[in-house]
Amino acid sequence: MKEIYMQLPQGIISDLPNAIYRLKKSLYGLKQASCQWYAKLTDVLYARGYQHSSNDYSLFYKKGSNSIVFLGVYVDDIKLTGDDVAEMQALKAYLDHTFKIKDLGEAHYFLGLEILPVPQGLVLTQ
């Protein structure tokens, strides 16, 4: 049986010929990367009091006494909405600290839907 050795990525130099390396985090491009990302995100949201929707596993929510915040996840995009601005700001700061996220501002398109703000709320068009 022929032994197969994994090559170190470019830029990594090792003086040890048969060293064993442990991967500390998942990488983009691996089949497991999206599962690992989702598992970590779920753990972080649970720790902050968020729950899964019973109807859609990609939707999380946190209900307060007078407020509610929804968080939708699609691959590595997150859409956040609700009526508790302070909670949304705190969650964005926490996610940035944990994952180094970018806040892209108001949504204009999501999953093929165009989102248009109007004085009465939002208009969704396809």
Contact 72, 58 (CB under 8 A): yes
| Global model pTM greater than 0.75 | no
Q: Which tens digit of pLDDT belongs to each residue from 10-65?
A: 777 777 767 776 666 555 566 666 777 888 899 999 999 999 999 998 999 999 99
Q: How many residues are present in the chain?
A: 126
Q: Which residues pair with 79 in a beta bridge?
A: 72
Question: Looking at residue 77, what is its pLDDT?
Answer: 85
Tell me: pLDDT of 122 over 80: yes
Which residues are within 8 A (CB) of 120 and not within 5 positions of it... i.e. 6 or more apart? none
Q: Which amino acid is at 124?
A: L
